[in-house]
A and B are shown apart, each in its own frame.
Chain A
Amino acid sequence: MSSGVIHDIGYQRYSGPRLGRAYATRALYSHGLRTAFGLGRSAKAKIFPWLVVGIVALIAIIATAVRALGGGFLGYFGFVDVAAFLAVLFCAVVGPELVSRDLRSGVLPLYFSRPLTRSDYALAKWAALVSAVWLVFAGPQLIMFLGGAFSGGTFGDFMDELGQFGQGLAYAAIVALLFASIGVLVGSLSGRRAVAAAIIAAFFLLSQAVAGILLGLGYGVDEAALRRASLLFSPQTLVQGVQAWVFDRQLDQFGPEFTVGSFGPLYAATWLVFTAVSVLLLLLRYKKVAR
Protein backbone atom coordinates (compact mmCIF):
# COMPACT_ATOMS: atom_id res chain seq x y z
CA MET A 1 0.00 0.00 0.00
CA SER A 2 1.49 3.29 -1.10
CA SER A 3 -0.52 5.17 1.48
CA GLY A 4 1.11 3.62 4.50
CA VAL A 5 3.08 6.68 5.50
CA ILE A 6 1.43 8.95 8.01
CA HIS A 7 2.91 12.41 7.80
CA ASP A 8 3.52 13.76 11.23
CA ILE A 9 2.01 17.18 11.24
CA GLY A 10 -0.01 17.77 14.36
CA TYR A 11 -3.74 17.41 14.53
CA GLN A 12 -5.71 20.66 14.79
CA ARG A 13 -8.87 20.72 16.87
CA TYR A 14 -11.76 22.72 15.43
CA SER A 15 -13.42 25.33 17.59
CA GLY A 16 -15.29 27.22 14.87
CA PRO A 17 -19.03 27.13 14.23
CA ARG A 18 -21.00 23.96 13.60
CA LEU A 19 -23.85 25.10 11.45
CA GLY A 20 -26.38 22.41 12.24
CA ARG A 21 -29.32 20.78 10.60
CA ALA A 22 -30.74 23.53 8.37
CA TYR A 23 -27.29 24.26 6.93
CA ALA A 24 -26.63 20.55 6.37
CA THR A 25 -29.94 20.22 4.54
CA ARG A 26 -29.13 23.22 2.34
CA ALA A 27 -25.68 21.78 1.64
CA LEU A 28 -27.26 18.49 0.58
CA TYR A 29 -29.74 20.38 -1.58
CA SER A 30 -27.08 22.37 -3.44
CA HIS A 31 -24.96 19.24 -3.77
CA GLY A 32 -27.98 17.49 -5.32
CA LEU A 33 -28.63 20.37 -7.68
CA ARG A 34 -25.00 20.29 -8.83
CA THR A 35 -25.14 16.51 -9.18
CA ALA A 36 -28.27 16.83 -11.35
CA PHE A 37 -26.22 18.73 -13.94
CA GLY A 38 -23.12 16.58 -13.47
CA LEU A 39 -21.15 19.37 -11.78
CA GLY A 40 -18.35 18.09 -9.58
CA ARG A 41 -18.70 14.74 -11.31
CA SER A 42 -16.95 12.96 -14.12
CA ALA A 43 -17.25 14.10 -17.74
CA LYS A 44 -19.45 11.08 -18.44
CA ALA A 45 -22.00 12.22 -15.86
CA LYS A 46 -22.25 15.62 -17.60
CA ILE A 47 -23.20 14.26 -21.03
CA PHE A 48 -26.89 13.56 -20.50
CA PRO A 49 -27.97 16.62 -18.50
CA TRP A 50 -26.14 19.00 -20.80
CA LEU A 51 -27.54 17.26 -23.87
CA VAL A 52 -31.02 17.97 -22.51
CA VAL A 53 -30.04 21.54 -21.66
CA GLY A 54 -28.61 21.97 -25.16
CA ILE A 55 -31.77 20.71 -26.85
CA VAL A 56 -34.17 22.86 -24.81
CA ALA A 57 -31.94 25.89 -25.36
CA LEU A 58 -31.98 25.18 -29.08
CA ILE A 59 -35.76 24.98 -29.08
CA ALA A 60 -35.90 28.34 -27.30
CA ILE A 61 -33.42 29.93 -29.72
CA ILE A 62 -35.31 28.67 -32.76
CA ALA A 63 -38.63 29.83 -31.28
CA THR A 64 -37.13 33.27 -30.61
CA ALA A 65 -35.63 33.48 -34.09
CA VAL A 66 -38.89 32.45 -35.79
CA ARG A 67 -40.70 35.07 -33.76
CA ALA A 68 -38.16 37.78 -34.65
CA LEU A 69 -38.54 36.90 -38.31
CA GLY A 70 -42.28 37.46 -38.07
CA GLY A 71 -43.39 33.83 -37.86
CA GLY A 72 -45.67 32.57 -35.07
CA PHE A 73 -44.43 32.43 -31.47
CA LEU A 74 -44.30 29.08 -29.70
CA GLY A 75 -45.03 30.90 -26.44
CA TYR A 76 -43.87 30.20 -22.89
CA PHE A 77 -46.58 27.63 -22.27
CA GLY A 78 -46.13 26.01 -25.65
CA PHE A 79 -42.42 25.71 -24.98
CA VAL A 80 -42.99 23.89 -21.67
CA ASP A 81 -45.43 21.48 -23.33
CA VAL A 82 -42.97 20.78 -26.15
CA ALA A 83 -40.05 20.35 -23.73
CA ALA A 84 -42.08 18.20 -21.31
CA PHE A 85 -40.92 15.06 -23.08
CA LEU A 86 -37.31 16.02 -22.37
CA ALA A 87 -38.20 16.82 -18.78
CA VAL A 88 -39.59 13.29 -18.44
CA LEU A 89 -36.32 11.86 -19.69
CA PHE A 90 -34.42 14.22 -17.40
CA CYS A 91 -36.43 12.99 -14.37
CA ALA A 92 -36.00 9.37 -15.40
CA VAL A 93 -32.23 9.70 -15.55
CA VAL A 94 -31.43 12.32 -12.91
CA GLY A 95 -34.02 11.25 -10.28
CA PRO A 96 -32.38 7.83 -9.79
CA GLU A 97 -28.98 9.53 -10.10
CA LEU A 98 -29.80 11.55 -6.98
CA VAL A 99 -31.28 8.82 -4.80
CA SER A 100 -30.58 5.34 -6.20
CA ARG A 101 -26.83 5.89 -6.13
CA ASP A 102 -26.96 6.64 -2.41
CA LEU A 103 -29.03 3.52 -1.78
CA ARG A 104 -26.62 1.38 -3.73
CA SER A 105 -23.40 2.71 -2.25
CA GLY A 106 -24.75 2.42 1.30
CA VAL A 107 -23.90 6.03 2.10
CA LEU A 108 -27.21 6.71 3.90
CA PRO A 109 -25.95 5.76 7.40
CA LEU A 110 -23.28 8.44 6.99
CA TYR A 111 -26.01 11.01 6.36
CA PHE A 112 -28.34 9.76 9.08
CA SER A 113 -25.53 9.82 11.66
CA ARG A 114 -25.11 13.54 10.96
CA PRO A 115 -27.27 16.46 12.14
CA LEU A 116 -29.88 16.19 9.37
CA THR A 117 -32.81 13.78 9.70
CA ARG A 118 -34.15 11.19 7.31
CA SER A 119 -36.94 13.53 6.25
CA ASP A 120 -34.45 16.38 5.71
CA TYR A 121 -32.50 14.10 3.44
CA ALA A 122 -35.56 13.10 1.40
CA LEU A 123 -36.83 16.68 1.09
CA ALA A 124 -33.42 18.04 0.11
CA LYS A 125 -33.13 15.47 -2.70
CA TRP A 126 -36.71 16.17 -3.78
CA ALA A 127 -36.18 19.93 -3.80
CA ALA A 128 -32.96 19.48 -5.77
CA LEU A 129 -34.71 17.60 -8.57
CA VAL A 130 -37.70 19.97 -8.60
CA SER A 131 -35.29 22.90 -8.94
CA ALA A 132 -33.23 21.15 -11.62
CA VAL A 133 -36.29 20.36 -13.76
CA TRP A 134 -37.58 23.90 -13.28
CA LEU A 135 -34.22 25.31 -14.38
CA VAL A 136 -34.34 23.13 -17.49
CA PHE A 137 -37.53 25.03 -18.38
CA ALA A 138 -36.70 28.42 -16.92
CA GLY A 139 -33.33 28.90 -18.63
CA PRO A 140 -34.71 28.63 -22.18
CA GLN A 141 -37.76 30.68 -21.16
CA LEU A 142 -35.36 33.42 -20.11
CA ILE A 143 -33.71 33.23 -23.55
CA MET A 144 -37.15 33.62 -25.13
CA PHE A 145 -37.96 36.53 -22.84
CA LEU A 146 -34.72 38.36 -23.52
CA GLY A 147 -35.18 37.76 -27.24
CA GLY A 148 -38.71 39.14 -27.28
CA ALA A 149 -39.00 41.62 -24.44
CA PHE A 150 -37.57 44.64 -26.21
CA SER A 151 -39.05 44.18 -29.66
CA GLY A 152 -42.50 45.57 -28.85
CA GLY A 153 -41.36 49.13 -28.44
CA THR A 154 -43.68 50.33 -25.69
CA PHE A 155 -43.44 49.86 -21.94
CA GLY A 156 -46.86 48.25 -22.03
CA ASP A 157 -45.58 45.61 -24.45
CA PHE A 158 -42.64 44.94 -22.16
CA MET A 159 -44.88 44.52 -19.12
CA ASP A 160 -47.16 42.26 -21.10
CA GLU A 161 -44.20 40.10 -22.10
CA LEU A 162 -42.98 40.07 -18.51
CA GLY A 163 -46.40 38.88 -17.37
CA GLN A 164 -46.36 36.07 -19.93
CA PHE A 165 -42.84 35.13 -18.89
CA GLY A 166 -43.87 35.05 -15.23
CA GLN A 167 -46.84 32.80 -16.02
CA GLY A 168 -44.55 30.55 -18.02
CA LEU A 169 -42.18 30.22 -15.05
CA ALA A 170 -45.11 29.43 -12.77
CA TYR A 171 -46.36 26.76 -15.16
CA ALA A 172 -42.82 25.34 -15.37
CA ALA A 173 -42.90 25.04 -11.56
CA ILE A 174 -46.22 23.18 -11.71
CA VAL A 175 -44.75 20.70 -14.19
CA ALA A 176 -41.45 20.39 -12.31
CA LEU A 177 -43.16 19.71 -8.97
CA LEU A 178 -45.22 16.83 -10.36
CA PHE A 179 -42.58 15.26 -12.58
CA ALA A 180 -39.75 15.51 -10.07
CA SER A 181 -41.89 14.09 -7.24
CA ILE A 182 -42.56 11.00 -9.32
CA GLY A 183 -38.92 10.77 -10.40
CA VAL A 184 -37.49 10.93 -6.89
CA LEU A 185 -40.12 8.60 -5.41
CA VAL A 186 -39.58 5.85 -7.99
CA GLY A 187 -35.81 6.37 -7.86
CA SER A 188 -35.85 5.89 -4.08
CA LEU A 189 -37.46 2.46 -4.44
CA SER A 190 -34.53 0.86 -6.21
CA GLY A 191 -30.77 0.91 -5.84
CA ARG A 192 -30.45 0.12 -9.50
CA ARG A 193 -30.45 3.29 -11.55
CA ALA A 194 -31.29 1.67 -14.86
CA VAL A 195 -34.29 -0.15 -13.41
CA ALA A 196 -35.62 2.98 -11.75
CA ALA A 197 -35.10 5.02 -14.92
CA ALA A 198 -36.93 2.43 -17.02
CA ILE A 199 -39.87 2.36 -14.59
CA ILE A 200 -40.15 6.15 -14.56
CA ALA A 201 -40.00 6.43 -18.35
CA ALA A 202 -42.45 3.56 -18.79
CA PHE A 203 -44.89 5.09 -16.32
CA PHE A 204 -44.93 8.41 -18.15
CA LEU A 205 -45.17 6.85 -21.62
CA LEU A 206 -47.84 4.30 -20.75
CA SER A 207 -49.97 6.77 -18.85
CA GLN A 208 -49.74 9.17 -21.77
CA ALA A 209 -50.91 6.40 -24.05
CA VAL A 210 -53.86 5.72 -21.72
CA ALA A 211 -54.79 9.42 -21.71
CA GLY A 212 -54.50 9.49 -25.51
CA ILE A 213 -56.74 6.44 -25.90
CA LEU A 214 -59.36 7.89 -23.54
CA LEU A 215 -59.26 11.19 -25.42
CA GLY A 216 -59.68 9.40 -28.74
CA LEU A 217 -62.51 7.36 -27.27
CA GLY A 218 -64.10 10.58 -26.05
CA TYR A 219 -64.12 11.88 -29.60
CA GLY A 220 -65.14 8.51 -31.04
CA VAL A 221 -68.25 8.07 -28.94
CA ASP A 222 -68.68 11.85 -28.82
CA GLU A 223 -68.75 11.98 -25.03
CA ALA A 224 -67.68 15.46 -23.85
CA ALA A 225 -67.18 14.42 -20.22
CA LEU A 226 -64.81 11.61 -21.20
CA ARG A 227 -62.85 13.99 -23.44
CA ARG A 228 -62.62 16.57 -20.71
CA ALA A 229 -61.55 14.07 -18.05
CA SER A 230 -59.16 12.12 -20.28
CA LEU A 231 -56.16 14.35 -19.58
CA LEU A 232 -56.31 13.42 -15.89
CA PHE A 233 -54.74 10.05 -16.58
CA SER A 234 -51.19 11.05 -17.37
CA PRO A 235 -48.82 13.49 -15.70
CA GLN A 236 -47.93 15.20 -18.98
CA THR A 237 -51.56 15.86 -19.92
CA LEU A 238 -52.63 16.49 -16.32
CA VAL A 239 -50.40 19.55 -16.10
CA GLN A 240 -51.85 20.82 -19.38
CA GLY A 241 -55.32 20.50 -17.88
CA VAL A 242 -54.10 22.51 -14.90
CA GLN A 243 -52.69 25.05 -17.35
CA ALA A 244 -56.06 25.36 -19.12
CA TRP A 245 -57.87 26.04 -15.88
CA VAL A 246 -55.34 28.07 -13.85
CA PHE A 247 -54.09 30.24 -16.70
CA ASP A 248 -57.32 30.14 -18.70
CA ARG A 249 -55.59 28.69 -21.74
CA GLN A 250 -56.97 27.08 -24.87
CA LEU A 251 -55.56 23.57 -25.49
CA ASP A 252 -55.78 23.40 -29.29
CA GLN A 253 -53.41 20.44 -29.44
CA PHE A 254 -56.20 18.17 -28.15
CA GLY A 255 -58.72 19.24 -30.78
CA PRO A 256 -59.98 22.58 -32.07
CA GLU A 257 -62.81 22.94 -29.61
CA PHE A 258 -61.16 21.11 -26.69
CA THR A 259 -61.83 22.41 -23.21
CA VAL A 260 -61.55 20.94 -19.72
CA GLY A 261 -64.79 22.73 -18.90
CA SER A 262 -66.00 22.20 -15.37
CA PHE A 263 -63.28 19.61 -14.79
CA GLY A 264 -60.78 22.44 -14.25
CA PRO A 265 -60.76 22.36 -10.45
CA LEU A 266 -60.51 18.58 -10.56
CA TYR A 267 -57.31 18.92 -12.57
CA ALA A 268 -55.81 21.27 -10.01
CA ALA A 269 -56.90 19.01 -7.15
CA THR A 270 -55.53 15.90 -8.87
CA TRP A 271 -52.21 17.63 -9.49
CA LEU A 272 -52.03 18.69 -5.86
CA VAL A 273 -52.96 15.28 -4.47
CA PHE A 274 -50.65 13.41 -6.85
CA THR A 275 -47.70 15.62 -5.94
CA ALA A 276 -48.43 15.60 -2.21
CA VAL A 277 -48.94 11.84 -2.05
CA SER A 278 -45.69 11.27 -3.94
CA VAL A 279 -43.82 13.41 -1.41
CA LEU A 280 -45.53 11.68 1.52
CA LEU A 281 -44.65 8.26 0.13
CA LEU A 282 -41.08 9.47 -0.33
CA LEU A 283 -40.93 10.52 3.33
CA LEU A 284 -42.42 7.18 4.40
CA ARG A 285 -39.87 5.38 2.26
CA TYR A 286 -37.03 7.13 4.05
CA LYS A 287 -38.53 6.44 7.47
CA LYS A 288 -38.06 2.75 6.70
CA VAL A 289 -35.01 2.51 4.50
CA ALA A 290 -32.16 0.80 6.33
CA ARG A 291 -29.19 1.71 4.23
Chain B
Amino acid sequence: MTLIATEALTKRYPNGVNALSDFTVQVEPGIIGLVGANGAGKSTLIKILLGLVEPTAGKVRVLDLEPGRDAEQIRSRVGYMPEHDCLPPDVAAAEFVTHMGRISGLPRTTARERASEALRHVGLYEERYRQIGGYSTGMKQRVKLAQALVADPDLLLLDEPTNGLDPAGRDAMLDLIQRIGTEFGISLVVCSHLLGEVERICDSLVAIDSGRLLRADAVSSMTTARDVLAVEVSEGRDQLVDRLNGLGLSVRLEGELLLVPLESADTYDVILGAVADLDLPLHRLDQRRHRIAELFQSAPQEAAHV
Protein backbone atom coordinates (compact mmCIF):
# COMPACT_ATOMS: atom_id res chain seq x y z
CA MET B 1 0.00 0.00 0.00
CA THR B 2 1.17 3.49 -0.78
CA LEU B 3 0.89 5.63 2.33
CA ILE B 4 0.76 8.99 0.64
CA ALA B 5 0.69 9.79 -3.05
CA THR B 6 0.53 13.24 -4.54
CA GLU B 7 0.51 14.22 -8.17
CA ALA B 8 1.31 17.74 -9.32
CA LEU B 9 -0.15 18.99 -6.06
CA THR B 10 -0.39 22.78 -6.01
CA LYS B 11 -1.70 25.14 -3.38
CA ARG B 12 -1.93 28.84 -4.08
CA TYR B 13 -3.29 31.01 -1.28
CA PRO B 14 -5.54 33.96 -2.10
CA ASN B 15 -2.72 36.36 -1.22
CA GLY B 16 -0.73 34.93 -4.15
CA VAL B 17 1.67 32.79 -2.11
CA ASN B 18 2.44 29.43 -3.69
CA ALA B 19 2.67 27.13 -0.69
CA LEU B 20 3.03 24.05 -2.89
CA SER B 21 3.96 23.92 -6.58
CA ASP B 22 3.65 20.86 -8.74
CA PHE B 23 4.50 18.61 -5.82
CA THR B 24 4.66 14.94 -6.80
CA VAL B 25 5.77 12.26 -4.41
CA GLN B 26 4.93 8.70 -3.40
CA VAL B 27 5.65 7.51 0.10
CA GLU B 28 5.61 3.97 1.44
CA PRO B 29 4.68 3.17 5.06
CA GLY B 30 7.38 3.76 7.66
CA ILE B 31 8.87 6.76 9.38
CA ILE B 32 9.03 9.60 6.90
CA GLY B 33 10.91 12.80 7.53
CA LEU B 34 9.45 15.85 5.85
CA VAL B 35 12.21 18.40 5.94
CA GLY B 36 12.40 21.97 4.79
CA ALA B 37 12.94 25.46 6.09
CA ASN B 38 10.16 27.24 7.93
CA GLY B 39 7.58 28.31 5.38
CA ALA B 40 8.67 25.70 2.83
CA GLY B 41 5.17 24.25 2.64
CA LYS B 42 5.33 21.42 5.17
CA SER B 43 2.35 22.52 7.22
CA THR B 44 0.29 23.20 4.11
CA LEU B 45 1.01 19.68 2.87
CA ILE B 46 -0.11 18.22 6.22
CA LYS B 47 -3.31 20.25 6.15
CA ILE B 48 -4.05 19.03 2.65
CA LEU B 49 -3.44 15.44 3.75
CA LEU B 50 -5.98 15.93 6.54
CA GLY B 51 -8.52 17.48 4.18
CA LEU B 52 -8.36 20.76 6.10
CA VAL B 53 -7.09 22.71 3.10
CA GLU B 54 -8.26 22.23 -0.48
CA PRO B 55 -5.45 22.01 -3.01
CA THR B 56 -5.65 24.46 -5.91
CA ALA B 57 -4.70 21.73 -8.36
CA GLY B 58 -3.33 18.22 -8.48
CA LYS B 59 -4.20 14.92 -6.88
CA VAL B 60 -3.55 13.53 -3.44
CA ARG B 61 -4.25 10.19 -1.77
CA VAL B 62 -3.71 9.25 1.87
CA LEU B 63 -4.09 5.61 2.98
CA ASP B 64 -5.66 5.06 -0.45
CA LEU B 65 -8.36 7.62 0.34
CA GLU B 66 -8.98 11.06 -1.13
CA PRO B 67 -8.93 13.87 1.44
CA GLY B 68 -11.43 15.91 -0.56
CA ARG B 69 -14.01 13.14 -0.63
CA ASP B 70 -13.25 10.84 2.30
CA ALA B 71 -12.08 13.43 4.82
CA GLU B 72 -14.08 11.89 7.65
CA GLN B 73 -12.60 8.43 7.06
CA ILE B 74 -9.07 9.78 6.78
CA ARG B 75 -9.40 11.86 9.91
CA SER B 76 -10.61 8.90 11.91
CA ARG B 77 -7.47 6.99 10.94
CA VAL B 78 -4.88 9.76 11.10
CA GLY B 79 -3.49 11.38 14.23
CA TYR B 80 -2.26 14.96 14.07
CA MET B 81 0.12 16.74 16.40
CA PRO B 82 0.24 20.44 15.54
CA GLU B 83 3.32 22.57 15.89
CA HIS B 84 1.96 25.26 18.20
CA ASP B 85 0.35 25.13 21.64
CA CYS B 86 -2.99 23.39 21.47
CA LEU B 87 -3.73 22.28 25.03
CA PRO B 88 -6.23 23.77 27.48
CA PRO B 89 -4.37 24.66 30.68
CA ASP B 90 -7.11 23.97 33.22
CA VAL B 91 -7.89 20.35 32.39
CA ALA B 92 -6.09 17.19 33.53
CA ALA B 93 -4.18 15.38 30.79
CA ALA B 94 -6.14 12.15 31.36
CA GLU B 95 -9.43 14.03 31.01
CA PHE B 96 -8.28 15.88 27.89
CA VAL B 97 -6.88 12.87 26.04
CA THR B 98 -10.02 10.86 26.89
CA HIS B 99 -12.19 13.63 25.46
CA MET B 100 -10.08 13.76 22.29
CA GLY B 101 -10.35 9.97 22.01
CA ARG B 102 -14.13 10.26 22.02
CA ILE B 103 -14.02 13.01 19.40
CA SER B 104 -11.96 10.57 17.30
CA GLY B 105 -14.84 8.12 17.58
CA LEU B 106 -13.86 5.86 20.48
CA PRO B 107 -16.67 4.66 22.78
CA ARG B 108 -16.55 6.24 26.23
CA THR B 109 -14.89 3.48 28.26
CA THR B 110 -12.51 2.60 25.43
CA ALA B 111 -11.50 6.25 25.20
CA ARG B 112 -10.70 6.31 28.91
CA GLU B 113 -8.62 3.13 28.73
CA ARG B 114 -6.75 4.12 25.61
CA ALA B 115 -6.09 7.61 26.99
CA SER B 116 -4.35 6.06 30.00
CA GLU B 117 -2.41 3.75 27.69
CA ALA B 118 -1.41 6.53 25.30
CA LEU B 119 -0.22 8.70 28.18
CA ARG B 120 1.72 5.79 29.59
CA HIS B 121 3.34 5.10 26.23
CA VAL B 122 4.52 8.69 25.94
CA GLY B 123 5.91 8.49 29.46
CA LEU B 124 3.22 10.27 31.47
CA TYR B 125 1.49 8.21 34.06
CA GLU B 126 1.63 9.51 37.61
CA GLU B 127 1.21 13.05 36.31
CA ARG B 128 -1.82 12.47 34.13
CA TYR B 129 -4.36 13.64 36.72
CA ARG B 130 -2.62 16.98 37.10
CA GLN B 131 -3.76 20.03 35.16
CA ILE B 132 -1.87 20.55 31.91
CA GLY B 133 -1.16 24.20 32.73
CA GLY B 134 1.39 23.07 35.31
CA TYR B 135 3.32 20.86 32.87
CA SER B 136 6.77 21.52 31.46
CA THR B 137 7.20 22.03 27.70
CA GLY B 138 8.42 18.46 27.34
CA MET B 139 5.39 17.06 29.14
CA LYS B 140 3.07 19.19 27.02
CA GLN B 141 4.69 17.86 23.84
CA ARG B 142 4.04 14.35 25.17
CA VAL B 143 0.38 15.15 25.81
CA LYS B 144 0.12 16.51 22.26
CA LEU B 145 1.58 13.25 20.99
CA ALA B 146 -0.72 11.19 23.25
CA GLN B 147 -3.87 12.88 21.94
CA ALA B 148 -2.75 12.08 18.39
CA LEU B 149 -2.02 8.48 19.36
CA VAL B 150 -5.13 7.80 21.45
CA ALA B 151 -7.37 6.39 18.71
CA ASP B 152 -4.66 4.06 17.37
CA PRO B 153 -4.15 5.82 14.02
CA ASP B 154 -2.67 4.16 10.94
CA LEU B 155 -0.74 7.34 10.26
CA LEU B 156 0.60 10.02 12.58
CA LEU B 157 1.37 13.50 11.27
CA LEU B 158 3.77 15.26 13.62
CA ASP B 159 4.51 18.93 12.95
CA GLU B 160 7.84 19.91 14.51
CA PRO B 161 7.48 17.50 17.46
CA THR B 162 10.76 18.59 19.06
CA ASN B 163 9.89 22.28 19.10
CA GLY B 164 10.87 24.01 22.30
CA LEU B 165 12.56 20.96 23.80
CA ASP B 166 16.02 20.92 25.35
CA PRO B 167 18.58 18.46 23.85
CA ALA B 168 17.64 15.67 26.28
CA GLY B 169 13.96 16.26 25.59
CA ARG B 170 14.64 16.15 21.85
CA ASP B 171 16.40 12.82 22.11
CA ALA B 172 13.61 11.38 24.26
CA MET B 173 10.97 12.59 21.78
CA LEU B 174 12.88 11.20 18.80
CA ASP B 175 13.34 7.85 20.55
CA LEU B 176 9.63 7.78 21.27
CA ILE B 177 8.80 8.55 17.64
CA GLN B 178 11.12 5.80 16.49
CA ARG B 179 9.46 3.37 18.91
CA ILE B 180 6.01 4.29 17.61
CA GLY B 181 7.20 3.65 14.06
CA THR B 182 8.99 0.39 14.73
CA GLU B 183 7.32 -1.29 17.73
CA PHE B 184 3.78 0.10 17.46
CA GLY B 185 3.69 -0.37 13.72
CA ILE B 186 2.26 3.07 13.01
CA SER B 187 3.52 5.07 10.05
CA LEU B 188 4.64 8.59 10.81
CA VAL B 189 5.33 11.75 8.88
CA VAL B 190 7.68 13.86 10.97
CA CYS B 191 7.98 17.50 9.89
CA SER B 192 11.14 19.27 10.87
CA HIS B 193 13.32 22.12 9.77
CA LEU B 194 16.26 20.25 11.30
CA LEU B 195 17.49 17.61 8.89
CA GLY B 196 20.08 16.22 11.25
CA GLU B 197 17.37 15.45 13.74
CA VAL B 198 15.07 13.41 11.54
CA GLU B 199 17.66 11.65 9.40
CA ARG B 200 18.56 9.67 12.49
CA ILE B 201 15.13 8.10 12.98
CA CYS B 202 13.55 8.09 9.53
CA ASP B 203 13.28 5.37 6.91
CA SER B 204 12.85 7.89 4.16
CA LEU B 205 13.16 11.60 3.69
CA VAL B 206 11.16 14.07 1.65
CA ALA B 207 12.85 17.43 1.25
CA ILE B 208 10.77 20.41 0.32
CA ASP B 209 11.83 23.92 -0.51
CA SER B 210 9.57 26.85 -1.40
CA GLY B 211 6.73 24.43 -2.06
CA ARG B 212 8.76 22.29 -4.46
CA LEU B 213 10.03 18.79 -3.99
CA LEU B 214 13.81 18.80 -3.67
CA ARG B 215 14.26 15.10 -3.26
CA ALA B 216 12.53 12.09 -1.81
CA ASP B 217 14.38 8.91 -1.15
CA ALA B 218 15.03 6.15 1.34
CA VAL B 219 17.60 7.17 3.93
CA SER B 220 19.58 4.00 3.26
CA SER B 221 20.08 4.89 -0.39
CA MET B 222 21.21 8.38 0.56
CA THR B 223 23.71 7.31 3.15
CA THR B 224 25.46 4.55 1.19
CA ALA B 225 29.05 5.53 0.55
CA ARG B 226 28.36 8.33 2.89
CA ASP B 227 31.71 8.44 4.65
CA VAL B 228 34.85 8.28 2.54
CA LEU B 229 38.49 8.80 3.41
CA ALA B 230 40.42 11.00 1.02
CA VAL B 231 44.12 10.14 0.82
CA GLU B 232 46.76 12.08 -1.06
CA VAL B 233 50.39 11.18 -1.33
CA SER B 234 53.06 13.29 -3.04
CA GLU B 235 54.47 10.30 -4.87
CA GLY B 236 53.90 6.57 -5.22
CA ARG B 237 50.20 6.86 -5.76
CA ASP B 238 49.84 3.70 -7.86
CA GLN B 239 51.92 1.72 -5.36
CA LEU B 240 49.55 2.71 -2.60
CA VAL B 241 46.48 1.84 -4.69
CA ASP B 242 47.87 -1.64 -5.34
CA ARG B 243 48.77 -2.11 -1.68
CA LEU B 244 45.34 -1.00 -0.43
CA ASN B 245 43.52 -3.09 -3.00
CA GLY B 246 45.63 -5.97 -1.82
CA LEU B 247 44.47 -5.32 1.73
CA GLY B 248 40.86 -5.69 0.61
CA LEU B 249 39.91 -2.03 0.36
CA SER B 250 38.12 -0.83 -2.76
CA VAL B 251 40.01 2.27 -3.75
CA ARG B 252 38.64 4.79 -6.21
CA LEU B 253 40.67 7.50 -7.91
CA GLU B 254 39.56 11.08 -8.18
CA GLY B 255 42.33 13.12 -9.75
CA GLU B 256 45.31 12.81 -7.48
CA LEU B 257 43.09 11.68 -4.63
CA LEU B 258 42.49 8.15 -3.45
CA LEU B 259 38.99 7.68 -2.10
CA VAL B 260 38.61 4.82 0.36
CA PRO B 261 35.25 3.89 1.90
CA LEU B 262 35.36 4.20 5.68
CA GLU B 263 34.22 0.71 6.56
CA SER B 264 35.31 0.70 10.16
CA ALA B 265 37.49 2.59 12.57
CA ASP B 266 40.38 0.33 11.49
CA THR B 267 40.40 1.74 7.99
CA TYR B 268 42.46 4.70 9.20
CA ASP B 269 45.10 2.43 10.70
CA VAL B 270 45.21 0.20 7.64
CA ILE B 271 45.88 3.18 5.38
CA LEU B 272 48.42 4.73 7.73
CA GLY B 273 50.13 1.36 8.04
CA ALA B 274 50.30 0.94 4.28
CA VAL B 275 51.69 4.44 3.80
CA ALA B 276 54.33 3.83 6.47
CA ASP B 277 55.28 0.44 5.04
CA LEU B 278 55.81 1.97 1.60
CA ASP B 279 57.53 4.96 3.17
CA LEU B 280 55.48 7.42 1.12
CA PRO B 281 55.13 11.13 1.91
CA LEU B 282 51.55 11.49 3.09
CA HIS B 283 50.07 14.76 1.99
CA ARG B 284 46.60 14.46 3.42
CA LEU B 285 44.22 12.02 5.01
CA ASP B 286 40.81 13.26 5.92
CA GLN B 287 37.23 12.17 6.14
CA ARG B 288 34.74 13.32 3.58
CA ARG B 289 31.28 13.35 5.04
CA HIS B 290 28.49 13.24 2.52
CA ARG B 291 25.89 14.95 4.61
CA ILE B 292 22.38 14.22 3.47
CA ALA B 293 21.99 17.96 3.27
CA GLU B 294 24.58 18.05 0.50
CA LEU B 295 22.80 15.29 -1.34
CA PHE B 296 19.62 17.30 -1.23
CA GLN B 297 21.31 20.40 -2.49
CA SER B 298 22.88 18.66 -5.45
CA ALA B 299 19.83 16.62 -6.32
CA PRO B 300 17.92 17.50 -9.45
CA GLN B 301 14.33 18.61 -9.06
CA GLU B 302 12.28 15.71 -10.22
CA ALA B 303 9.44 13.51 -9.17
CA ALA B 304 10.64 10.76 -6.95
CA HIS B 305 9.45 7.49 -5.57
CA VAL B 306 10.44 6.51 -2.05
Contact = CB atoms under 8 A, between A and B. Distances in A.
Interface of A: 1-7, 9-14, 16-21, 23-24, 27-28, 31, 40-42, 45, 101-102, 105-107, 109-116, 291
7 shortest interchain CB distances as A-B pairs: A14-B152, A113-B80, A18-B105, A27-B102, A11-B184, A19-B105, A105-B88
B27 interface: no
A16 B107 contact: yes
Given A2-B127, A3-B138, A110 B84 contact: no
Interface residues of B, number: 53
Contacts of A106: 82, 84-87
Nearest to A11: B184
Nearest to B83: A109
Interface in B128-143: 131, 136, 138-139, 142
B277 interface: no
Nearest to A102: B88
A113 B138 contact: no
Nearest to B99: A31
A110 B127 contact: no
B100 interface: yes
B180 to A, nearest CB: 8
B106 A107 contact: no
A7 B90 contact: no
Contacts of B91: 41
Interface string B108-120: 0010001001001
A68 B94 CA distance: 49
B136 A113 contact: no
Contact of B121 (A6, A40, A114): A6
Interface string B70-96: 001001111010101111111100010
Contacts of A11: 117, 121, 183-185
Interface of B: 50, 52, 72, 75-78, 80, 82, 84-91, 95, 99-100, 102-107, 110, 114, 117, 120-127, 131, 136, 138-139, 142, 147, 151-152, 168-169, 172, 176, 179, 183-185
A101 B131 CA distance: 15
B152 A111 contact: no
B115 to A, nearest CB: 12
B97 to A, nearest CB: 10
B62 to A, nearest CB: 12
A11 B117 CA distance: 8
A110 B72 contact: no
B139 A3 contact: yes
Contacts of A13: 152, 184-185
Nearest to A116: B103
A6 B123 contact: yes
A127 to B, nearest CB: 15
B85 A41 contact: no
Contact of A7 (B125, B136, B172, B184): B125
B90 A42 contact: yes
A105 to B, nearest CB: 4
A16 B184 CA distance: 17
A38 B253 CA distance: 75
A106 B140 CA distance: 13
Contacts of A105: 85-89
16 contacts: A1-B136, A3-B125, A13-B185, A19-B106, A19-B107, A20-B76, A101-B88, A106-B86, A106-B87, A107-B86, A109-B52, A113-B52, A115-B72, A115-B76, A115-B103, A115-B104
Nearest to B142: A3
B25 to A, nearest CB: 21
Contacts of A12: 117, 152
Contacts of B90: 41-42, 45
A33 B291 CA distance: 55
A111 B103 contact: yes
A4 B175 CA distance: 11
A20 B139 CA distance: 29
Contacts of B99: 27, 31
A105 B103 CA distance: 17
A114 B106 CA distance: 12
Contacts of B77: 18
A12 B116 CA distance: 12
Which of A10, A20, A115 has its CB near the most chain B CB atoms (within 10 A)?
A115
A107 B96 CA distance: 11
Which of A10, A107, A113, A291 has its CB near the most chain B CB atoms (within 10 A)?
A113
